[in-house]
Structure 1
Amino acid sequence: MFGGGRDRVVIAGAGACAASAAETLRAEGYDGQIVMVGREPEPPYERPLLTREFLLPAAASGPQGVSRVRSARWFADNGVDLVLGTDVTGVSPQRHRVRLSSGRSLRYGKLLIATGGRPRRMPHADSDRVMYLRTRQDARELGERLGTEQRVAVLGAGFIGSEVAAAARARGIEVTLLDARDIPLQRSVGRHMARTLGEIHRSAGVEVRTGERALAVRDIPGGLLVETNRDRLECGLLLVALGMRPNTENFAAPGTGIAIANGIVVDEFCRTSVPDVFAAGDVAEQFNPLFGRRLHVEHFDNAVRQGRHAAVNMLGRGEPGREALWFWSDQYDHTVQSVGDLAYADEVVVRGRPDEASYSVFHLRRGAVRAVLALNRPRDVTAGRRLVAAGARLTPAELRDPSTDLRAAARVLHR
């Protein structure tokens, strides 16, 4: 622990990662001051649940209230000072101080940067009919607009775009889903799963247009005209879902010494390139020894895990992160889950029935299981987490064979 006047932990950011870090610090016995500084005006919440809370048909009768991580009372009762509606605008590692947008400065003993990210914006698209989804307020406004629109276009068929398209179709709205790639989601879930998800959207009535980029938008009476590289389309609302930019700019000033690549660069202990400064969650690019490379991951589970991991290492534990990355996405009545790292796989094995939308895809590298993608097969993912963590070597025939007990194989590997 660190004592005296330098006993304060400052957490830049007030999302799920920050909340996880604060909760872990208290659970591990840290009794110093914790100050959490967040840009948004409300306590941390679970971003993946915003679709359920504000966008699905049940939300038409009012918000479902499912996304809060911890109440403001919990933070007060546990001695965590919330400074909301405020940014950390700069850091001086030499002086162990951060500057706030309010004009105040704070001294820290340890600093955790957990500022998350923001949506990539479409250039020259300033209409109020062009929307983005990142914050609870974004979701609230989008949900209200979906209640009045008959035709919606979604630009970007990643997870956010796909989930919004599914939610809009569930409300009976006509949806056009545009993506510049030939197979949307391929980078995230691989070719097999991406093709299946595309067909699921088409069968639900979504017009999926691939290889198509939006070049310009302009207001027309009652809606928008979207010009693409191939065509034009009219809609009442355009949801732009082109990915995320990590919020690193306030820590990039010359002289800070904080290394930044595709996020703030941290080692397996969540340490940045300067002493006493850590980073975690969507803003971080962490070296993962399990996969032997740095990864920038933009998923809720990773943010929560890295928040915990950063907290114990701020307390001097020296525990390297070796998690097998996991995420999920709910679209219509289907759940897709992924565990591991798809990159550099040299063999792909399919298990189950793709034609019945119930199957898993195992990605192998040099015979070792590196990643598992599963559609409506949660048991395969449960076993897959252990198989990936162990670098298990099951033959393609064993993986394909429905009689192979993956959970038993995973248990044997972890004895």
Structure 2
Amino acid sequence: MQNIAIIGGGHAGAQAAASLRADGFDGRLVLVSAENELPYHRPPLSKAFIKGEDDATQELRPALFYEKNGVELLLGRTVEAIDRDAGRLVLDDGELPFDGLVLATGARVRVPPVPGINMANVFLLRTVDDARRLKQRLAEAHDVVVVGGGFIGLELAATARILGKTVTVLEAAPRLMGRVVAPAISAYFLDLHRTLGATVRLETPVASLVGENGAVVAVEAASGERIPADTVIVGVGVVPNIEIAEAAGLHVANGIVVDEAMRTSDPRIVAAGDAVSFHHWALGRPVRLESVQNAVDQAKTASATLLGKAQPYRAVPWFWSDQGDAKLQMVGLSMDADSSVPRGDPASGSFSVFHYQGDRLVAIDSVNRATDHMLGRRWLAAGFSPPREAVADESVDLKTVMPKV
């Protein structure tokens, strides 16, 4: 293998470049990114970046890293097609040969089909350019409406409140972050955001955005009520970027479908990150995960596979969200849990919810309780499930319950 190309300059693409060199690939290595920036940390965009004075990104690796490791960066360039027969990428301004390819195409923000969504002062957040525009706007904003009570929406709602803005969060579902966390966690963050001074309305779908002279002035709920807004932030999920893979004839289904070693339906092509659909060993069905951890770990697996060192992907998934002074950490996947055990008192601002399927621990949601989270990562990796009675009893030191091997 002489030429490996990487499509995408996010966490997965940058990690793939680093891993390929670390694993011994010494051929030509080219990373193509539509963004003009060196690959950067994305999580701070909704928090520290918006609040800070500096508009620079937090680079994942400095420019010198790519130079010293012989990674060619084609920034501000797009891949228009994958020509599998010829083994080349068709770029917006040329061609690039490959005999190995990493798809790290990521995802884009979901744009709901709401009238007025394209008006001025309506913002989506995915890239640093999005964040720069939103930061500039928030300096002048007064009435901010956040559409969506998921991670990004709530992080931005907390940031806007810290900046002194009037904030209203509109969530169509009965609770915040309802698809991913336990009801007790949802309730805690509802109280948190209201304590911060935000208005949070559940079961309030949006019907339209109301404008004057091309700029939004209000958000109209399905009930007909109008909430004043000079700035609207939309955070209702993301859509995987699968179009280029699909056009190339690769198997796609809610993501680019890969096997347990991250191979696509073409063994010369691997994929990693938010755009990937893979069969999860614990759930027993395909999933697509959107997290830094998953992107990085899948990129490591994909890189090894390209170099003939394939191993099954078995990384334990974990996620986090910082909202105000609360740190939410999740490990494992709780969607198939049939019971839960609380540990700690939500009123204290530090507690966890342990999720079980039968007697098997499958996930832990933690608020300001890093020890539980780190133990969960170790336990789930080892296949260990702590007894429910030990979890429920705070007098038990959970660090002692796992037998030493």
Q: For this structure pair, what is the TM-score category when the shorter chain's length is used for normalisation?
A: over 0.9
Letter of the aligned partner of 1:283 in structure 2? A
Q: For each residue in 1:145-179, what CA deviation from the matched residue of structure 2 results, as whole angstroms up to 9, or x when unmatched?
A: 11111110000111000000000000111100011
Shift of 1:329: 0.7
Partner-residue secondary structure (3-state), 1:169? helix
* 2:140 pairs with one of 148, 154, 160: 148
Letter of the aligned partner of 1:116 in structure 2? G
Partner-residue secondary structure (3-state), 1:197? helix
Identify unmatched segments of 5+ residues in structure 2: none
* 1:120 pairs with one of 103, 110, 120: 110
Q: Does 1:252 align with 2:284?
A: no
Q: Does 1:313 align with 2:305?
A: yes
Other-structure match for 2:33: 38
Q: Does 1:224 align with 2:214?
A: no
When the two structures are superposed, what TM-score results if normalisation uses the length of structure 1?
Answer: 0.93
Distance 1:156 1:146 in 2: 18
Q: For each residue in 1:360-409, what CA deviation from the matched residue of structure 2 results, as whole angstroms up to 9, or x when unmatched?
A: 11111121110011000000000001222233232221111113332333
Q: For each residue in 1:190-215, what CA deviation from the matched residue of structure 2 results, as whole angstroms up to 9, or x when unmatched?
A: 21211111111111111001111111
Other-structure match for 1:197: 189
* 2:44 pairs with one of 34, 40, 49: 49
Distance 2:75 2:383 in 1: 42
Distance 2:4 2:398 in 1: 43
Distance 1:261 1:334 in 2: 35
Distance 1:115 1:29 in 2: 24
Letter of the aligned partner of 1:318 in structure 2? A
Partner-residue secondary structure (3-state), 2:180? helix
Q: Does 1:280 align with 2:280?
A: no
Contact 2:180 2:335 in 1 (8 A): no
Distance 1:170 1:364 in 2: 36
Shift of 1:223: 4.8
Quote the sequence identity (%).
37
Partner-residue secondary structure (3-state), 1:297? coil
Letter of the aligned partner of 1:237 in structure 2? T
Other-structure match for 1:365: 357
Other-structure match for 2:370: 378
Distance 2:220 2:283 in 1: 41
Shift of 1:293: 2.5
Shift of 1:307: 1.3
Other-structure match for 2:162: 170
Distance 1:150 1:386 in 2: 45
Contact 1:290 1:324 in 2 (8 A): no
Distance 1:117 1:159 in 2: 15
Distance 1:97 1:131 in 2: 36
Distance 1:408 1:140 in 2: 47
Distance 2:268 2:216 in 1: 51
Q: Does 1:78 align with 2:69?
A: yes
Contact 1:115 1:247 in 2 (8 A): yes
Shift of 1:289: 1.8
Contact 1:114 1:280 in 2 (8 A): yes
Distance 1:25 1:409 in 2: 39
Shift >4 Å, 4+ stretches? none
Aligned 1:318-337 pairs, distance under 5 A = 318-337=310-329
Q: Does 1:8 align with 2:3?
A: yes
Identify unmatched segments of 5+ residues in structure 1: none
Contact 1:50 1:67 in 2 (8 A): no
Shift of 1:66: 5.8
Q: For each residue in 1:213-252, what CA deviation from the matched residue of structure 2 results, as whole angstroms up to 9, or x when unmatched?
A: 1111132378522111122111110001011011111121
Shift of 1:299: 1.1
Contact 2:143 2:230 in 1 (8 A): yes
Letter of the aligned partner of 1:73 in structure 2? L
Greater shift, 132-141 or 258-267, is seen at: 258-267
Q: For each residue in 1:64-101, what CA deviation from the matched residue of structure 2 results, as whole angstroms up to 9, or x when unmatched?
A: x4621122332122111111111222213233222212
Other-structure match for 2:91: 100
Q: For each residue in 1:37-90, what CA deviation from the matched residue of structure 2 results, as whole angstroms up to 9, or x when unmatched?
A: 11111110010011344212xx1x333x46211223321221111111112222
When the two structures are superposed, what TM-score results if normalisation uses the length of structure 2?
Answer: 0.95
Partner-residue secondary structure (3-state), 1:252? helix
Shift of 1:354: 1.3
Other-structure match for 2:384: 392
Contact 2:122 2:216 in 1 (8 A): no
Other-structure match for 1:299: 291
C-alpha RMSD of matched pairs (Å): 1.6
Letter of the aligned partner of 1:314 in structure 2? L
